[in-house]
Each structure stands twice: as C-alpha cells, then as structure tokens.
Amino acid sequence: MFCLQAGAAMAQAAAGHEFDTAVAALPTASYLEKEELAGRIARSAHPQALTLLRGWLDGKLHADAAGHAYLEGEGGYTDALSGAAATPASPDELEKIGTNNRLRKALKGLLAQFGLASAEPGMRIEAVREMRRELDESAVAALQARLPQETDAAVKHEIELALALAGLASEEPAQRLAAIASLDGDRSTEVYNRLSRMASGDEADADAAVRNAAGAAVRSIDSWRSFYQGVETLFFGLSLGSVLVLAAIGLAITFGVMGVINMAHGELIMLGAYTAYVMQLLMPQNTGLALLLSIPAAFLVSGAFGVAIERVIVRHLYGRPLETLLATFGLSLVLQQLVRSIFSANNRPVAIPEFMSGVWQINDVFSITYNRLYILIFALMVFALLLGVLKRTSLGLKVRAVSQNRGMAKAMGVRTDWVDAATFGLGAGIAGIAGVALSQLTNVGPNLGQAYIIDSFMVVVFGGVGNLWGTLIGGMALGVVNKLLEPYAGAVLAKILVLVALILFIQRKPRGLFPQKGRAAEGH
C-alpha cells in the first residue's frame, strides 16, 4: 500500500511539473511552439488542464510581465496553474496569450479528446464529430483507444465512422477499400463528398479498384438520397394536403348539407387565425398553452359567426344559389374590413410554441419540420372527431338525414331549420380551427382566407360534395400532386395544371370521387 501511494504521488508530481513547465513557457512561445505546449498540457492529465485549454480557446488566458498566467472569469481572475482566485498586481498590464486559426483548430481537437472521457453520451458524440474535422495521428489513436471501451451504440457508430474516414486517407489501397466497405450504407453528406472526390474529379484515387469501389458506393448513396427526397416530397405534399383538408372540411359540411356556396368561408378561417393571435396577446409568457386554448376559442368565435350568418342572411336565400353567393361574397369583404379596422391591415405574427419549433433531422438528406408534422396529426384528429360526431351523435344523424332527403327528414319531425343553423355553425367552427393551424405556418392578415377559398372548393368538388372521406382523400391527393409538380413547373404553374386536371376529371365524374348517396343527391 505504501509503495502504491508513493507511486501515485510521484506520478501526480510529474504531471504537475509537466503542466507547470508548459504553462510557464506559453507567454514567450511562438505559435508553433504554443501548439506543441498545448499538447503537453493536455497529456499532463493535470486537473486544471481542461479549464486552461477551454479558457485559452475562448480568449480568456492572460499573462503578466513576470510570465504568470491568469484565467479571466465572470467574477474576476483565477490562477491558471491552481484554479484559485487571484488578483494580478496590475490587471491593466495583462497581455492576452493569443491564438491563430491553426492553433484554435488544435485546441478544439484537444478539447474534443477530453470530451471522449465525458460521462454524457451526447458530449462524447460532439467530441468525436469535432475530432473528425482534423483526423491527425493523435486523434486517430485516441479514437482507437476509446472504441473498445465505448458502450453507447450511437457513440460507437460515430467513432467507427471517424476511423473509416481516416482510413480513406491511408497510403495502402487495401485499407482504403476496407474503409469504403465499412462506409457502405452510410448516407451522410460528409461520407458522400469524400467518396465522390475519390471516385472522380481532381482528387480521384490512383488505384482503379479503389476508384471503382468508391463509385459504386456513391451510386448506392445517390439511390438512397433520391428515395429520401421522394419521401420528403411526399411529406410536404401530405402537410399541404392536411392544411387543405382543414380548410375544406367545414365547407364540405355546409355545402353538402345545405347546398350553400359560402364565399365567406375563407374569412371564417381568418377569424380563427386572429383568435390565436389574440390568445397569445393575453398569454404572452405561455405560447404553448395559448395555442392549445385558442383551438376551442376559435371554434366558438367562428362558430358563433357562422350561426349568425345563417340566421341573418343565408336562411332567407335558400334555393337562390346565385344570390347566396353574392351575399356571402359581400359579407367576406365586410369581415375583411372589420379586421382591418380592429387590427390594421398589417400582418400579425403568431409565435410558434417551443414544442412545435425546430426540425426532426432523421438523416443528412431527410428532415421533417415539427410544425408541419403536428398540423398533419392535428388534421387527422379533427377529421376523426368530426366523423365521430356525424356517425355517433343525434346531431350527426339529423345532419345526414337532411343531407340525403330534406323533405323526408322534415316529414319525420326533424327541425331542418335548427339543423341548418347547427350545421353552418359546426362547419364555421371547424374553419376557425383551420385558422389556428394556419397561424403556425404563415402570418395572420385580413387576406389570409382568400388564399384558401378556391382550394377549399376544389377539394370539396374533387372528393365529392358532402363526403368527408372524399374531402380527406381529395385534399391529400391535391396536396401531394401540387408538391410533385412544383420542382418541374413552379408553384404557380403547378396550381394551374392541377386546376386543369380537376376540370377534366369533373367532366368525366361530375359528382366527384365519392358521390353523396340519397334521393336528394341523386336528383341534382
């Protein structure tokens, strides 16, 4: 025990001496000498080495005229050797121990090697990625030493990737071939760029077998990149389709049940978006809760407007579709001007809550934005809830009865006027919910609804008037087709092509994909 304790004390003293000597030489050393001294400081395994290197990289390492080093901190200075609080004799005369680009890169590499010993897997991953920027002999040796000890699968993968990238620079063709084989299946941009340079271009590998292997790996990665780009396009199409479904689903109910062409439907969406904006004004410190509460609030606000529109205007115009269209179009202008008078004509931003911010980076070529993912899920939830209301409740039964045969429903005692008001309010309320979702994708302004009214009618007509499943499938299909056409035709021409295709489709199937059933529907 005595011998062990004595040996440990001697090793600690040796480490301390190495550390002290290297730090003392820093103030007068050249940049090349500083790089060598930084390596000695790191290898000394001194308790203060990590703090000193980190402070040096941040530009907080200073020295006085006598060559004594100090670290600058928030509360003052500390002794660079011991870490204890210290006050320089003349703080104004301290000189910063400078760095250049090469030295900063070396310091980052040394700090990354310290990070390999961290207890946090995330810190170890960041350390490996930092070391990958400059895979010199010391970095490769540190990674090789760490690999057998590593227990976390994600960190182990990063180390194996770094060692394989280092193997690509080997002088032996066999080692380069082995490195290419180990990188097979990796789709990161870093690997793709390295292999592309080896396969062709100015840095093409001199060995034909290595060059061919790199070319085959690049072609494999290209096929996977094309696949993921297709999946990403599909996701963007479904996210656009979910917005169209939310905007159109309320219109599908009112148009299908009542046969009313409501040109103010877009303004009901706009009112829902402004409701979300007002809720965040009332709760500025909790945007997430404000957004959640704005969903029922927008349903009530837009739904109340919808009931008022039906009771005051629409019920007097049943059977006169052209006059209904003109009246609701005039009402849309009134609602736009009302919003301008209250909130001004300027667009209003609605903050995105933290849980909806950011990107889910699945790999280097495929990522999903959280706000669009949540809106897609939200649209499906609203659809399922509305389907349950129409299929499982008394109101839903009456709505379906009136939509299929209004005269017979009235003869059976259904108060069709009450059903009309409730249906219009339900459709308007869902439009308000759509406005809340849209507030997370775009700025809120008086003209917000105008951008979606035409698309909403397109979805309803394409899917089949009054059919919810048709609205869902039609909205998703139009969204995906739009996104598939946009890379080739542009956003505007893609919309025109979709409209032309829809017109041709309606010529063949005037009642849409899923026509409504019932005597009233068959009579039109």
Residue 54 pLDDT class (50, 70, 90 cuts): confident
Query: Does the residue 449 lie in any domain?
Result: yes
Question: What does the pLDDT average to over 102-129?
Answer: 79
**What is the pLDDT at residue 257?**
67
Contact between 58 and 99 (Cβ < 8 Å): no
Question: What does the pLDDT average to over 441-453?
Answer: 85
Percent of the chain with pLDDT over 70: 94
**What is the pLDDT at residue 519?**
46
How far apart (Å, rounded) are the C-alpha atoms in residues 159 and 173? 22
Residue 7 pLDDT class (50, 70, 90 cuts): very low
Domain around 65 = 20-102
Question: What does the pLDDT average to over 246-270?
Answer: 83
Query: Does the residue 360 lie in any domain?
Result: yes
Domain boundary among 102, 136, 171: 102
How many other CB atoms are found less than 10 A from the CB of residue 492?
9
Question: What does the pLDDT average to over 129-156?
Answer: 81
Query: Does the residue 390 lie in any domain?
Result: yes
Show the CA angle centred on residue 388, arms to residues 383 and 393, nearest 5°: 140
Contact between 255 and 293 (Cβ < 8 Å): no
Count of structural domains, the chain: 2
User: Which residues are registered as beta bridge partners of 71?
Assistant: 61, 78
Residue 273 pLDDT class (50, 70, 90 cuts): very high
How far apart (Å, rounded) are the C-alpha atoms in residues 297 and 303? 10
Query: Does the residue 477 lie in any domain?
Result: yes
Question: What does the pLDDT average to over 152-162?
Answer: 85
**What is the pLDDT at residue 277?**
92
Q: For the CA atoms of 464, 335, 449, 457, what is the dihedral angle to 10 degrees?
A: 20
- Give the mean pLDDT of the chain: 82
pLDDT digits (tens, 9 = 90+) for 338-397: 999 998 888 888 888 888 888 888 877 788 888 889 989 999 999 999 888 888 888 878
What b/e readout covers 66-76, taking b as 16+ CB neighbours within 10 angstroms? Answer: eebbbbbeeee
**72, 460, 447, 517: which is closest to 255 by C-alpha?**
460
Residue 148 pLDDT class (50, 70, 90 cuts): confident
Show the CA angle centred on residue 17, arms to residues 12 and 22, nearest 5°: 130
Residue 302 pLDDT class (50, 70, 90 cuts): very high
How far apart (Å, rounded) are the C-alpha atoms in residues 133 and 482? 40
Query: Does the residue 353 lie in any domain?
Result: yes
**What is the pLDDT at residue 211?**
84
106 pLDDT exceeds 50?
A: yes
Contact between 466 and 396 (Cβ < 8 Å): no
308 contact partners, CB below 8 Å, separation of at least 6: none
Contact between 419 and 399 (Cβ < 8 Å): yes
Question: What does the pLDDT average to over 426-444?
Answer: 89
How far apart (Å, rounded) are the C-alpha atoms in residues 373 and 360? 9
265 pLDDT exceeds 60?
A: yes
Residue 517 pLDDT class (50, 70, 90 cuts): low
**What is the pLDDT at residue 523?**
46
**What is the pLDDT at residue 5?**
46
Domain boundary among 59, 84, 102: 102
**472, 291, 303, 474: which is closest to 374 by C-alpha?**
291
The DSSP symbol for 523 reads: T
Domain boundary among 102, 117, 147: 102
pLDDT digits (tens, 9 = 90+) for 58-80: 888 888 888 888 888 877 888 88
How far apart (Å, rounded) are the C-alpha atoms in residues 140 and 64? 37
Query: Does the residue 385 lie in any domain?
Result: yes
pLDDT digits (tens, 9 = 90+) for 197-252: 888 866 777 788 888 888 888 888 888 888 888 888 899 889 888 888 988 888 88
269 pLDDT exceeds 80?
A: yes
CA 116 to chain centre: 29
**What is the pLDDT at residue 516?**
62
Query: Does the residue 167 lie in any domain?
Result: no
Query: Does the residue 166 lie in any domain?
Result: no
466 pLDDT exceeds 70?
A: no
**What is the pLDDT at residue 381?**
92
Q: For the CA atoms of 349, 266, 299, 313, what is the dihedral angle to 10 degrees?
A: 140
Which amino acid appears at position 169 of this protein? A
Q: In whole angstroms, how far apart are CA 455 and each of 248, 260, 461, 469?
A: 8, 17, 10, 17
Tell me the whole-structure pTM to 2 decimals. 0.70
Which amino acid appears at position 377 of this protein? I
DSSP letters along 64-102, please? Answer: -TT--EEEEETTEEEETTT--B---S-GGG-EE----HH
Residue 15 pLDDT class (50, 70, 90 cuts): low
